[in-house]
Protein backbone atom coordinates (compact mmCIF):
# COMPACT_ATOMS: atom_id res chain seq x y z
CA UNK A 1 0.00 0.00 0.00
CA UNK A 2 1.25 3.49 -0.78
CA UNK A 3 0.48 7.11 -0.01
CA UNK A 4 0.63 10.05 -2.41
CA UNK A 5 1.78 13.49 -1.27
CA UNK A 6 0.84 16.91 -2.63
CA UNK A 7 2.01 20.51 -2.26
CA UNK A 8 -0.54 23.27 -2.04
CA UNK A 9 1.07 26.56 -3.02
CA UNK A 10 -2.17 28.37 -2.15
CA UNK A 11 -4.55 27.22 0.52
CA UNK A 12 -7.75 28.11 -1.29
CA UNK A 13 -10.48 25.52 -0.90
CA UNK A 14 -13.49 25.14 -3.20
CA UNK A 15 -16.58 25.97 -1.15
CA UNK A 16 -18.67 23.32 -2.95
CA UNK A 17 -16.44 20.24 -3.08
CA UNK A 18 -14.04 21.20 -0.24
CA UNK A 19 -11.00 20.30 -2.38
CA UNK A 20 -8.04 22.63 -2.94
CA UNK A 21 -8.01 24.65 -6.15
CA UNK A 22 -4.35 23.88 -6.80
CA UNK A 23 -2.36 20.79 -5.86
CA UNK A 24 0.98 19.66 -7.20
CA UNK A 25 1.76 15.97 -6.89
CA UNK A 26 5.08 15.45 -5.10
CA UNK A 27 5.35 11.69 -5.16
CA UNK A 28 4.46 8.42 -3.54
CA UNK A 29 5.69 6.44 -0.59
CA UNK A 30 5.07 2.68 -0.64
CA UNK A 31 6.07 0.23 2.06
CA UNK A 32 9.44 -1.34 1.30
CA UNK A 33 10.15 0.82 -1.76
CA UNK A 34 12.27 3.87 -2.39
CA UNK A 35 10.26 7.11 -2.38
CA UNK A 36 9.15 7.92 -5.94
CA UNK A 37 9.16 11.65 -6.67
CA UNK A 38 6.89 13.22 -9.29
CA UNK A 39 8.90 15.18 -11.86
CA UNK A 40 6.00 17.40 -12.99
CA UNK A 41 7.74 17.97 -16.32
CA UNK A 42 10.75 19.32 -14.37
CA UNK A 43 9.11 22.76 -14.56
CA UNK A 44 9.37 23.46 -10.80
CA UNK A 45 12.65 21.70 -9.99
CA UNK A 46 15.32 19.62 -11.75
CA UNK A 47 16.54 17.49 -8.83
CA UNK A 48 15.99 16.78 -5.13
CA UNK A 49 18.11 19.73 -3.98
CA UNK A 50 16.02 22.16 -6.05
CA UNK A 51 12.80 20.45 -4.94
CA UNK A 52 13.66 21.01 -1.27
CA UNK A 53 14.15 24.73 -1.96
CA UNK A 54 10.93 24.88 -3.98
CA UNK A 55 8.95 23.34 -1.08
CA UNK A 56 9.66 26.31 1.21
CA UNK A 57 6.50 28.26 1.91
CA UNK A 58 4.21 25.51 0.66
CA UNK A 59 1.93 23.21 2.60
CA UNK A 60 2.25 19.46 2.13
CA UNK A 61 -0.65 17.05 2.50
CA UNK A 62 -1.06 13.34 2.03
CA UNK A 63 -3.84 11.97 -0.14
CA UNK A 64 -6.09 11.71 2.91
CA UNK A 65 -5.86 15.43 3.65
CA UNK A 66 -3.45 15.14 6.60
CA UNK A 67 -0.92 17.96 6.69
CA UNK A 68 2.74 16.92 6.83
CA UNK A 69 5.49 19.31 7.89
CA UNK A 70 8.14 20.14 5.29
CA UNK A 71 10.99 18.93 7.51
CA UNK A 72 9.19 15.66 8.16
CA UNK A 73 8.48 15.17 4.44
CA UNK A 74 12.14 15.82 3.55
CA UNK A 75 13.33 13.36 6.22
CA UNK A 76 10.84 10.78 4.98
CA UNK A 77 12.08 11.04 1.38
CA UNK A 78 15.74 11.03 2.35
CA UNK A 79 15.52 8.03 4.68
CA UNK A 80 13.69 6.04 2.00
CA UNK A 81 16.50 6.33 -0.57
CA UNK A 82 18.39 3.24 0.61
CA UNK A 83 15.56 0.82 -0.10
CA UNK A 84 16.04 -1.64 -2.94
CA UNK A 85 12.96 -1.72 -5.12
CA UNK A 86 11.52 -5.08 -6.14
CA UNK A 87 10.75 -4.06 -9.71
CA UNK A 88 12.27 -2.33 -12.76
CA UNK A 89 12.04 1.48 -12.77
CA UNK A 90 11.26 3.42 -15.97
CA UNK A 91 11.95 6.94 -14.74
CA UNK A 92 14.94 9.17 -14.13
CA UNK A 93 17.45 8.47 -11.37
CA UNK A 94 18.92 11.88 -10.51
CA UNK A 95 21.58 12.09 -7.80
CA UNK A 96 20.21 8.84 -6.36
CA UNK A 97 16.57 10.02 -6.23
CA UNK A 98 13.83 8.50 -8.38
CA UNK A 99 11.81 10.96 -10.48
CA UNK A 100 8.91 9.82 -12.60
CA UNK A 101 7.30 12.12 -15.16
CA UNK A 102 4.05 10.30 -15.85
CA UNK A 103 0.84 9.80 -13.92
CA UNK A 104 0.88 7.13 -11.25
CA UNK A 105 -1.60 6.08 -8.62
pLDDT tens-digit map of 41-79: 999 999 999 999 999 989 999 999 899 999 999 998 998
Please give the angle made by the CA atoms of 24, 3 and 98, to the nearest 5 degrees.
70
Gap between the Cα atoms of 55 and 1, Å rounded: 25
Whether 52 is covered by a domain: the verdict is: yes
Whether 27 is covered by a domain: the verdict is: yes
Whether 34 is covered by a domain: the verdict is: yes
pTM of the model: 0.81
Residue-range definition of the domain harbouring residue 23: 2-100
Gap between the Cα atoms of 23 and 34, Å rounded: 23
Which comes out higher in pLDDT, residue 91 or 29? 29
Count of domains forming the chain: 1
What are 14-49's pLDDT values in tens digits?
Answer: 667 666 567 899 999 887 788 899 999 999 999 999
Gap between the Cα atoms of 72 and 98, Å rounded: 19
Whether 81 is covered by a domain: the verdict is: yes
Gap between the Cα atoms of 104 and 56, Å rounded: 24
Closest CA relative to residue 97, chosen from 44, 45, 24: 45
* Contact (Cβ atoms closer than 8 angstroms) between residue 48 and residue 97: yes
- Residue 45 sits at φ, ψ, to 5 deg, of -160, 155
Whether 105 is covered by a domain: the verdict is: no
Gap between the Cα atoms of 84 and 71, Å rounded: 24
pLDDT at 105: 56
Whether 85 is covered by a domain: the verdict is: yes
* Greatest distance between any 2 Cα atoms in the chain: 43
Say yes or no to pLDDT of 88 above 70: no
Amino acid sequence: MGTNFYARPKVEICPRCKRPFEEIHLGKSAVGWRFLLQANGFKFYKNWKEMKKWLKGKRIYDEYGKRIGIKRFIQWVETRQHTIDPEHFNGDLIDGYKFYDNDFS
